[in-house]
Amino acid sequence: MKIKNVHGAPLLLLIISVLLIVAGLVKMPFLSSEGNVFLASAVLQVLILAIPPAIYARARGRKFFSHMRLKLFKAVDIPLMIFALGFMMFGGSMISFYIYRVAPEFFGTSSSAMLAQGSGSAGAVIYALVSVAILPAVTEEFLFRGIVATEYERNGVALAVVLSSLTFALIHFDLVRIPVYFFNGVILALVMYATRSLFASMVVHAANNILAMFLEVYVYHAAARQGGSIVLFTFICTALTLLFAFLFFSSCAKAYSDLARINAPSDHAKKKKRGEVSYVREALTSPYFIILLVVSAIGIILNF
């Protein structure tokens, strides 16, 4: 596929965003069939979040596919992944907590949490875990940390982390949760780069989704309270967020130190040549990226 990387990633996301909006507007029979809500969710994710990215990666060629870090993580990476999960869980809870305190009327329970509450039997819970926690983690990581980050990292890893996280947040079409999604996206991108494994970020993402399904509602309950209990909740979550942040970033530093010790090739792009357009400006002024922002805004308005 002959298309510049700063155009390819937003073009793919633009197509997916339009498909998501259309799927939300069109009342398809199988989406409203009683008892098929989890199946419908899984089918839509495969059709919209799995197939187009897979076609795109295939069209990009073998070299691009080999750069997506589709390899298993090592046992030594597991502590880093656990620390990342703790950082995401408590840090995300604190962000959600403060947003809820400011605007509770706009901050309803997420779809995954609602599905978990109404899932019923053990079999239905497992069905919900697969369709709204595990499958989204796999498809979204393949798309954002796999394809989008790989495209943008040619212009620098920092740009790849920021834009893959920003587009990850926008494509959920949830205005009040944009800070949470962006926060999570940054951590997941760092996990992928530190472990050099896309599967590592998939596992952390899935684990965070599962925890959110069952624990998110308690964050809202805590945010709705007054008095000493809210102070205690804030103190504990803040302390745990800082603790896991320290452990996570220390683990990332060690991972990169270990890579430097064995003289592993760097993930960072080569320096910009004199006279070339700024990579950041080029990425942000791509017509497809600008249209993507507009379409994302429309999706947010429709979902508000």
Q: Over its length of 304 residues, how does the chain's per-residue pLDDT go in tens digits?
A: 678 888 999 999 999 999 999 988 875 555 544 556 677 778 889 999 999 999 999 999 888 888 899 999 999 999 999 999 999 999 998 898 888 877 776 665 555 555 555 555 666 777 778 888 899 999 999 999 999 999 998 888 899 999 999 999 999 999 989 999 999 999 999 999 999 999 999 999 999 999 888 777 667 666 666 666 677 878 888 999 999 999 999 999 999 888 778 777 766 555 555 444 577 888 999 999 999 999 999 999 998 7
pLDDT at position 221, please? 67
Any idea where the domains of the chain sit in the sequence?
5-303
- In angstroms, the CA 139 to CA 161 distance is 18
Q: Of 95, 89, 98, nearest to 243 (Cα)?
A: 89
- In angstroms, the CA 54 to CA 37 distance is 25
Count of H-run helices and E-run strands, the chain? 16, 0
pLDDT at position 220, please? 66
pTM to 2 decimal places: 0.90
- CB neighbourhood size of 62 (10 A): 9
| 280 within 8 A of 2, measured Cβ to Cβ | no
pLDDT at position 303, please? 85
Q: Which amino acid belongs to residue 299?
A: G
Write the DSSP string, 36-89. -HHHHHHHHIIIIIIHHHHHHHHHH-HHHHHTT--SPPPGGGHHHHHHHHHHHH
pLDDT at position 275, please? 45
pLDDT at position 258, please? 83
Cβ-count burial 115-132 (b if 16+ within 10 Å, e if not): bbeebeeeebeebbbebb
Three-state secondary structure of 184-202:
HHHHHHHHHHHHCCHHHHH
| 168 within 8 A of 9, measured Cβ to Cβ | no
- In angstroms, the CA 29 to CA 64 distance is 38
